[in-house]
Amino acid sequence: MQNFADQLSSNPQAKQLLENQKAIRQMLANPETRKVLQSLQKKNVGRLQAAAQSALQGDTTALSSVLQELSSDPQAAKAMEQLNKTLNK
């Protein structure tokens, strides 16, 4: 079984993001990103990691569920929207 880092590097979109260290630093410095990360930290980390691994293998159901729960928090939903705008510029 591949470990999480190997799975990330084998996913073209994740690999592209990981190779762009400047984009990662900018994203992590973004206050909206920090709000989303804080909300995610309140969730079960094991559940989130399992959902991310499933998504990398093509099953996005669990990750969608986690993100839907997260978006029910108004502050996290606003932060996710801002983050999405930032990443899609």
CB 18 within 8 A of CB 26: no
Question: Amino acid identity, residue 16?
Answer: Q
pLDDT tens, N- to C-terminus, the chain (89 residues): 456 667 666 777 677 666 777 777 777 788 887 877 777 777 667 787 888 888 888 888 888 888 888 778 787 788 778 777 766 66
Domain that holds residue 49: 4-87
pLDDT at site 26: 78
Whole-prediction pTM: 0.48
Neighbours of 44 (CB within 10 A): 11
- Distance of alpha carbon 51 from the chain centroid: 10
User: What single-letter DSSP state applies at residue 20?
Assistant: -
CB 63 within 8 A of CB 10: no
Q: Nearest-CA neighbor of 82 among 20, 24, 34, 19?
A: 34
**How many separate domains does the chain show?**
1
